[in-house]
Structures are given as structure tokens and as C-alpha cells.
Structure 1
Amino acid sequence: MSRNRKSAKTEGTRFETVVRDYLAQALDDDRIMRPRLHGATDIGDIANTYFMGQRVCIECKNTKAKAYRAHMLEAIDEAGNLDAPFYFVVQKVPGIGFRSMRKIGSQMAYTTPEVLDAMRREAPDDLFLHNTGNFTPFTTKGKAPMELVRCDLRSLAVVLNHGLPLGREMES
């Protein structure tokens, strides 16, 4: 493995680990983990996350390329492997590190509008009324544009936590 490829893999693993740690602390759930790889049947980079009792597939990306469509298609495929109705990509934002919980919470999370609508149907109205103001639509560029909706990781954690305050010391 070339040095650059090894470095990229190491940085990807590091990003997955900090996202896992962030969600485990935010949701106060030590069961959240990074599953081992399953090849063609991967189930996402973060396991044991749920919304309203249903699985959520989370795919992490620490890439310079803004391949939002390709990353979302990967998350959709892995959500199918996991039998998860909800899926998100957590993308490392250039220029924002991950040495503090605040910075990790500032990383970008995105999904399709259909997933966000399905989550709205599953949840009490006030959960989305009060906690989805940070979700904004955007469209990927290229030959086959894709409509997506994004927020920061902290906003996603609040929704996954049913609007309750985030766990151990997250607000400081």
C-alpha cells in the first residue's frame, strides 16, 4: 500500500472513530461502535444508532473530493444491507478539525429529503418542529444531480436523541 493511500485510510479510520465517540457521548450510548468490514455487504461505518427504534446507517467520509452523490449512493446501498430505513453520510468539512467535541459536532451530515420526510412521519411533530431548523437543501452537481439535505453533526445528534439535551458535557 502506498504511503498516501495508507495515510488516507488512517485518516478515514480516525474520522470514523471520532464520529463514533461523538455520537456515543452525545446519545449517552456506549453500544455505538464501528463494525468490522463486510466487503460487498458493508453496513455503514457507525453501528447501533437508532431513531424511533429503527436502525440508522451512518457512512463517514474524510475525503477532499466532494463526491456527495457517490457517497450517498454508498450509504443507500449499505442501509439496504443493514435493513435500515434511515441513512446519513457524515462528511469531514475542510478546515474544521476534530480535536474538540464542538468541532466534531460542526462536521456535515446529509441525507435525502425522502429520509428526512420518513423520519418526520415517525416522530412526534414537535421533535422536528423544534430541531430541524439547521437542515438545508442542496443539489449535487454533475450529469445526474441529486437532491440532498444537510445539517451539522450536532443537529443530527439532537434529532437522533429525540430533541433531548445531548449527553455528558456536550453543551460546554
Structure 2
Amino acid sequence: MTIASAALLALPLSGAAFADGARPQPAATAKAPQPAHSNPAAPTVPQDQLAKGYDARKVALKVSVDPERVRAGDSYDVTIVAKGLHSGTATVTSPEGKSYRVALSGGKATKTLTAPATAKPGSKTVTVKVGNKTATATFDVVPPRPQRDDRHRNHDGK
């Protein structure tokens, strides 16, 4: 083997070593920094509302309960109106402390809850939170209907 042929054999091997080092390497990706003052309690606002100039300070939250007198064991409706907010999520917290997420549509939603049959009579409060806004509504729980005892009647209704 001549010196020239040995050089030709060595050249591709050393060329491959040089070629590996010259290949472009993928660049590291960086995430945009998150603002330090972000508020996790701020309402989630769809992009279309951001484009329309949505302002959380302009949202007016109103909550009501129907009926205002609820018998223990009966259901009642919690109505939510978030004026200034087209869509989003409301969190309804019952007087017993249970929380429910409700989707707003057109800034409105209704959640049906039930007063426990064992609820003590008196004033109760439902709390609703939308973003950083909180509103409450009160209602009265009254005793359950007395149980009717039909054991002393005959089967023919007499």
C-alpha cells in the first residue's frame, strides 16, 4: 500500500469525524416569561371578549335564590347574572360548603340545589364567585312538611 492510498483511506474517516461536529444542532427553545403579578382569581376571558376590550372591573355580578323560602329536603334555583361577561365559569358554594362549577352562557346561568332534609330552619347563604367578583344570596329554610300517617285508615280511604 502506498502512502497516497493510505491517505485516501484515512481521509474519509477523518472527514466523517469533522462532518459530525459541523452539523447544525437544534437551538434551545425558551418560554416567554410569565408576569409576576398574574392573578389566578381573574376571570378566564375568551379571546373574542379581549378583542372587544373586556374589563374585569366592569363585570356586575348578581345572584338570587328562588324560592326565597325552601322546605328542608326541597330544591331551589340559584340564578347568576354576570353583566359585562358573555361566557366563563361561576363557582356556586352551597350553605353546606359544597362547590359546583357552572358554565355561563350570555352572562347567565342557573344551578339547582337541594336543601338537606336534615337542614335546620333559618337563614342560609349561597355564595357565587366569578373571577375576582363574589356575590351572595340569602334564603330561609323552613321545617319539612309533616309526615302524614295513613296507617290508621282503612284501605278504602275511610
The bucket for the TM-score relative to the shorter chain is under 0.3
Q: Which structure's residues are more often strand, by fraction?
A: 2
Larger % of helix: which? 1
TM-score using structure 2 length? 0.21
